[in-house]
Amino acid sequence: MTTTGHDPRCSEPVHPAAPDLAGAQQTRNRDLPPAWGWPARGGGRAANVDPGIMWQATTSQVCGLFPFAVAGGAAPRGVPVGRHLHTGEPVGLDPAHWLRTGLVSNTGMWIQGQPGIGKSTIVKRLLTGLVAFGATAVIPGDVKGEYTALVDHLGGTVWRLGRGLHSLNPLDAGPLRAALRAAVGTERHALAETIRARRLSLLEALVVIVRRGPITVTERRLLDTALDHTTPDNAGNGTGTGAGGGAEPVIGDILDVLTTPPESLLAVTATDTETRYRREARDLVNTLALLCTGAMRGLFDRPSTVTTDLDTPALSLDISALDHDDDDVVAAAMLSAWAWAAGVTTAATTLGGHRTVFRVQDELWRALRVAPGLVELSDRVTRLGRSRGEISAQVTHSLDDLDALPTPQDRAKARGLAGRNAITVLGGMSTADLDRLHAITPLSTAETAMVHGWAAPPTWVPGQLHPGRGKYLIKSGGRTGLPIHLSLTSDELDLYHTEHTWHPPRHQHRHQHRPGVPQ
C-alpha cells in the first residue's frame, strides 16, 4: 500500500495519519463498518464489489467439488461395504461396534432383496471383514455350497454333509463337550441343562419334520425320559448304556430305550404292561425309526464325523449334496446344522475368551415351511446359543416366504423373528414386498421409491447393467437409511461368484471390464 495518493481499492485517499480500524469504530461510535468497509488502513474499504460469477461444468470436470466438499457424517465404522450413493463417503458395517456405541439395540441383521442382485455378495464382504477383525464365521446349512470357496480361501473348514460324506449327529454336544469338561460348579450344571434342552428341542423338531405334524405332550415326555436314560448324568458325557463308552447318544439309542421300556416310560403312558405301552408309543417309535431308514438313512443316525476348532477363522456345513432331496430331508439337515452352530456360539463364549461369532442363515424359510410349529422349535434351538458375542444374518428373497408357512401362528412368529433384528439391509424389490416390509422397517417415501427403482431396468434395451446390482439400503430404526453401492475387488469377483451373483467369472470376461466395475 502506498503512503500517498489514492489506494486503488478505496474511493478516498489514505493518509499516513489515518486512524486504524479500532479507532475509526470509536470515532464513528458504530459496532459495524459501513457497506463498503471503513476508510482506514485495514478497514476493507472498496469502491465497488463485483457480484459472484456462476459457473457451470460437468461432474467430471469439477469432481473435486461435487457432490459435497464437506462430509455428511453418514459413515459409521465397520467393515467397508460400499460408498454412500449421495455423498460418496465410505460406509462401514459392524453390528458389534454399532451395539457398543449405542447405534443399535442388538446385533441381528435382516437381509432381503430379489434373487440375483447380490444379497450373498454383501454378506460375503461382511464375513471377510469380520473374520479380519477377529471373529469366527459360521455358515450352518449352506444349501447351495456358495460359501465353500470363500471359507476355504480364508483358511477355514468346510464339512460336506450327505450320503457317503460327513455326518452330523443331532444329539452330539459338539463344541460344548469341551466346554462342559472345563466347567465346574453351577456353570457346569447350567451348561449341561443347555445341552439337554437343545437335544430335546431338536428331537421334537425332527419328529415334527418327519411326520409333518405336531408332537403330543405324552410323546414329549417319552423323549425327555428316554434321553435321560441315555445320559443319566445329564452332563452330555454319554455315560448311559445307550451311548456306550463315553460316546455321544444317537437316535438309535433313543429308539432302544423306547422299544425296551423301563418302568419310568410305562409310568409316562399310564400303562401297566409293555403291550399297552407299545400301542401308546407306536407312532413315536415309527417316526424316529424313519430317521434311521428310508430317505434319511445314514444322515442323522450315525455318530458325528464333524469336529469343531474354535481357532479356525470360518466354519461351514455344506449340505448342497442334499439340495435336490425332499424338503423334509433338507429341513432336518438345516435344523441340525443350526443347533450345531448354536453350540459353536456358546462354546466360543465359554472357552474362546468371548470371541465374536458371525452366523449366516440363508434360505431359512426352506426349513421352516415343512411342518407346523417349526418356527417356534427352531427359535428355541438357536435361542439357547445366543449371547452378546454373536452377530446373526438372516437372508431371504421376499416376505412372501412367510405365506408359505403352514399356520397363522407360524407366520406371526416368523414376522416377530424378522422384526427383532436391529439392522435391515434391503436390495431392489417390488412394491408388494415394500408394502409388507413397512410393518417391520419403516421407510420414507423417498427410500421406498429408491429401493423400488432398483428392482428392474427402466428400458427394454438389452445388455444394460441392472440398476439394483450392488446397491443396498441399510436401515436401523426410524433413522434415515444409508444407500450404498458396493464395488468388488478383482479377487472378490472370483471368490464371491455364484450362479445368482451379479458378476460373471473373471476368466470369462477378462478383457471386457475392469476389476470392480459391474457389467
Q: What is the pLDDT of residues 32-89, one digit of tens each?
A: 556 677 777 777 777 777 777 777 777 677 766 655 555 555 667 899 999 998 888 8
For 279, residues 6+ apart whose C-beta sits below 8 A from its C-beta are: none
Per DSSP, the three-state class of 91 is: strand
Examine the fold and report which residue of 290, 320, 336 is the final residue of a domain before the chain moves on.
290
Cα gap 399→182, rounded to integer Å: 43
Please report whether residue 263 resides in a domain: yes
Same domain, 43 and 125: no
Cα gap 155→149, rounded to integer Å: 10
Per-residue cell: 131: 473374520
Same domain, 358 and 213: no
- Looking at residue 53, the DSSP 8-state letter turns out to be P
Same domain, 231 and 311: no
Same domain, 151 and 209: no
Please report whether residue 55 resides in a domain: no
**Residue 184 burial by Cβ neighbours in a 10 Å radius (0-12, 13-18, 19+):** exposed
Please report whether residue 57 resides in a domain: no
Examine the fold and report which residue of 234, 258, 290 is the final residue of a domain before the chain moves on.
290
Same domain, 326 and 413: yes
Cβ atoms < 10 Å from Cβ of 206: 27
Same domain, 204 and 84: no
Closest to 363 (Cα-Cα) out of 115, 94, 158, 125:
115
Closest to 150 (Cα-Cα) out of 183, 121, 176, 109:
121
Strands (E), 135-205: 136-142, 157-160
What pLDDT is stored for residue 2 in this prediction? 40
Same domain, 249 and 277: yes
Cα gap 288→297, rounded to integer Å: 11
Q: What is the pTM of this model?
A: 0.76
Per-residue cell: 97: 461396534
Same domain, 225 and 351: no
Mean pLDDT by 10 residues, the chain (519 residues): 42 45 52 68 76 75 60 73 88 91 89 84 94 92 91 94 90 84 85 89 91 91 93 49 56 93 92 90 93 84 87 92 88 89 81 79 82 81 62 86 82 83 91 85 90 80 75 89 90 73 47 39
Per-residue cell: 27: 470515532
Please report whether residue 196 resides in a domain: yes
Per DSSP, the three-state class of 213 is: coil
Instruction: Name the domain count of the chain.
Output: 3
Per DSSP, the three-state class of 362 is: strand
The answer to whether the beta carbons of residues 109 and 95 sit under 8 Å apart is yes
Cα gap 169→304, rounded to integer Å: 5
3-state SS string over 103-150? CCCCCEEEEECCCCCCHHHHHHHHHHHHHHCCCEEEEEEECCCCCHHH
CA distances from 199 to 188, 274, 463 (A): 17, 26, 52
**Residues recorded for the chain:** 519
Cα gap 286→358, rounded to integer Å: 38
- Cis geometry, peptide bond prior to residue 505 (ω within 30 degrees of 0): no
CATH code for position 422: 3.40.50.300
Same domain, 362 and 476: yes
Cα gap 29→108, rounded to integer Å: 65
Examine the fold and report which residue of 243, 265, 290 is the final residue of a domain before the chain moves on.
290
Same domain, 383 and 414: yes
Same domain, 219 and 332: no
Q: What is the pLDDT of residues 152-199, one digit of tens each?
A: 999 999 999 988 899 999 998 888 888 888 888 888 888 888 889 889
Same domain, 275 and 328: no
Closest to 417 (Cα-Cα) out of 401, 432, 434, 433:
401
Instruction: Find the helix or strand (DSSP H, E) in which 395 lies.
Output: strand 390-396
Q: Residue 1's domain spans which residues?
A: 1-48
Please report whether residue 352 resides in a domain: yes
The answer to whether the beta carbons of residues 406 and 213 sit under 8 Å apart is no
Please report whether residue 380 resides in a domain: yes
Please report whether residue 72 resides in a domain: no
Cα gap 332→464, rounded to integer Å: 41
Please report whether residue 211 resides in a domain: yes
Per-residue cell: 310: 474354535
The answer to whether the beta carbons of residues 434 and 448 sit under 8 Å apart is yes
Cα gap 352→350, rounded to integer Å: 6
